[in-house]
Structure 1
Amino acid sequence: MLEAGRLLLLVGGGKMGEALLVGWLRHGLAPEAVLVVEPDAARRQALATTHAVRAVAAPEELPEAGTLGALVLAVKPQMMDRALPAYVGRVAPDTLVLSIAAGKPIAYFERMLGQPLGVVRAMPNTPAAVGRGVTVLCANAAARKEQRALAERLMAAVGATYWIEDEELMHAVTAVSGGGPAYVFHLIEALAAAGTAAGLPEALAMALARGTVVGAGELARLSDESAAQLRINVTSPGGTTAEALKVLMAEDRGLIPLMVEAVAAAARRSRELA
């Protein structure tokens, strides 16, 4: 995954940081090629014990720079201003800077790190924790072909990857795939609540809702048919599903206009936070 003798420095060992680490190790990255900076003592100990990587509390404890192949920033956006300056002297022109911090544009890292660097901004989502993530990447002009390829390998270790050239689209990406898992989880909640309202025991309604969404998602992933065709396949004319879809597909108050409104709200908030 990395060139021989190069190291990967992961800053932030939270849920997403660990999900990435697990994916990298599963895809052949040697534990000794990874350094982790994680200030929380319990998280740090768990990462070191579980994954056999070197984890330190602060960048001052890291070895000298010079062999850093990638700096992966998995820090919460609100913590980035405080965390990033410590790494200015640790990156070289051929070091990939890969950020998964939502809302932080590429120009921010160029300005903060203060030298021409290959920077790739990535927006993964939480199913990365089970290897089913979706990540969209965007690179700056200074990113070399090999740096883009490395960024793609690193994010492909936790799921599907897609590239965009217009960074402005990251707001829409954040709204669709970044927050999308929450929308799906709420769909499970809603379907279970509807089942309970129809008379099912609460536990059974939740089991049916969860299993149905999981199964439908896997079918959508494996099928060559469009989502629309998969919907049609389930829907018998004049049947029970068709009756429910009359409600869900209503032009004025159906699921599509509601989702359009929801995604627009999320994209608008993403722009406000940038």
Structure 2
Amino acid sequence: MQQKKLAFIGAGNMSRSIISGLIQSGYDKDNILASNPSTPKLEKLQEEFGIRITQSNDEACEFADALVLAVKPQMMGDMLAALQEKNDLTGKLFLSIAAGLPVSRLQEMLGGDYPVVRIMPNTPSLIGKGMTGLYADDTVSSADRQYADDVMGAVGETVWVKEEDGINGVIAAAGSSPAYFFLFLQAMQEESMKMGFDAQTARNMVQQAMLGAAEMVCHNPDIELSELRAQVTSKGGTTAAAINTFIDKGLQDTVSAAMRAAVDRAEEMAKQL
């Protein structure tokens, strides 16, 4: 991995997870700096990982070859306006994890056609099991694309989309989907409790079943998901009765509609920002 001087503007959970993954991957802590208005999160990062910290975004910009833009989307405009007013941004790479802000809008906020990579991680990145979507236009070199991929590869798997609107598909399939699974687990836990199990036992059963199912998917990449399902669905058995109920109740249509709703909302947010 290239050892660029990397600054994080914003010291929230996602910044922490990326920093943690980078350090574990062998990134030099002296090449990482985090900036944040308040000190508690910064001090915790410095204590845990030994990185540099500052409360000044200008200092972060001066230090960095690449900057991770990790502030809330609604705060991005003011932050970048101040940054480009006081600093020379020439030669710097920008990695944005702000949802809803397209590259063209970020470049407008930066005041020039600077290289920007849009990054859409999901919450399992916090434990190194993330799935991140990335997009970059022609202003980003192949070396900088590889660098962005390496940075996010430190917290999980990555996928690049050719067109920027593909990021919305990543949101639907990976960014938002952990919540889908949590909802499904919640429903199973609650039904298990109705069957007489206490809350902890019910949770242990359904979470271990999902963990095992996920591991089976990962360990059998050449087997289609439909075939994996068929292998555990004996004709006329209990699993078949449950699966047929899901199908009869329109599970596939519901999943399709939910993912489409996520895409539609992402498109709406882009227009609002």
| Same fold, TM-score > 0.5, yes or no | yes
In the alignment, the residues of structure 1 paired with residue 261 and residue 76 of structure 2 have an alpha-carbon distance, to the nearest angstrom, of 25
Deviations 1:172-209 (A, max 9, x none): 22122111111111111111112112232222111101
Across the aligned residues of Structure 1 and Structure 2, the Cα RMSD in angstroms comes to: 1.6
Q: Which residue of 1 aligns with 2:2?
A: 2
Number of residue pairs the alignment of both structures matches:
268
Decide which of 174, 195, 201 is 1:204's aligned counterpart: 201
Matched, 1:11 2:14: no
Decide which of 10, 14, 21 is 2:19's aligned counterpart: 21
Structure 1 gaps of 5+ residues are none
In the alignment, the residues of structure 2 paired with residue 41 and residue 155 of structure 1 have an alpha-carbon distance, to the nearest angstrom, of 25
- Residues 64, 9 of structure 1: alpha-carbon distance in 2 compared, 3 angstrom cutoff: closer
Tell me if structure 2 keeps the 8 A contact 1:71–1:91: no
SS at match of 2:165: helix
Tell me how far 1:63 sits from its aligned partner.
Answer: 6.4
Matched, 1:241 2:245: no
In the alignment, the residues of structure 2 paired with residue 214 and residue 80 of structure 1 have an alpha-carbon distance, to the nearest angstrom, of 37
Decide which of 67, 72, 76 is 1:76's aligned counterpart: 72
Decide which of 115, 118, 128 is 2:125's aligned counterpart: 128
Tell me how far 1:44 sits from its aligned partner.
Answer: 1.4
| One-letter amino acid of the structure 2 residue matched with residue 149 of structure 1 | Q
Matched, 1:256 2:247: no
What does 1:118-157 align with in structure 2 at a 5 Å threshold? 118-157=115-154
Deviations 1:6-27 (A, max 9, x none): 4101111111110011011111
Matched, 1:172 2:145: no
TM-score by length of 1: 0.92
Tell me if structure 1 keeps the 8 A contact 2:7–2:60: no
- Residues 63, 191 of structure 1: alpha-carbon distance in 2 compared, 3 angstrom cutoff: closer
What does 1:30-69 align with in structure 2 at a 5 Å threshold? 30-60=28-58, 62=59, 65=62, 68-69=64-65
Tell me how far 1:116 sits from its aligned partner.
Answer: 2.7
Tell me if structure 2 keeps the 8 A contact 1:68–1:91: no
- Residues 181, 52 of structure 1: alpha-carbon distance in 2 compared, 3 angstrom cutoff: same
Tell me how far 1:92 sits from its aligned partner.
Answer: 4.0
Tell me how far 1:155 sits from its aligned partner.
Answer: 0.8
Tell me how far 1:100 sits from its aligned partner.
Answer: 0.8
Tell me how far 1:160 sits from its aligned partner.
Answer: 0.7
Q: Which residue of 1 aligns with 2:82?
A: 86
SS at match of 1:167: coil
Deviations 1:24-44 (A, max 9, x none): 111111111011012232211
Tell me if structure 2 keeps the 8 A contact 1:11–1:73: yes
In the alignment, the residues of structure 2 paired with residue 227 and residue 45 of structure 1 have an alpha-carbon distance, to the nearest angstrom, of 45
Tell me if structure 2 keeps the 8 A contact 1:96–1:151: no
TM-score by length of 2: 0.93
Tell me how far 1:91 sits from its aligned partner.
Answer: 5.7
Tell me how far 1:229 sits from its aligned partner.
Answer: 1.3
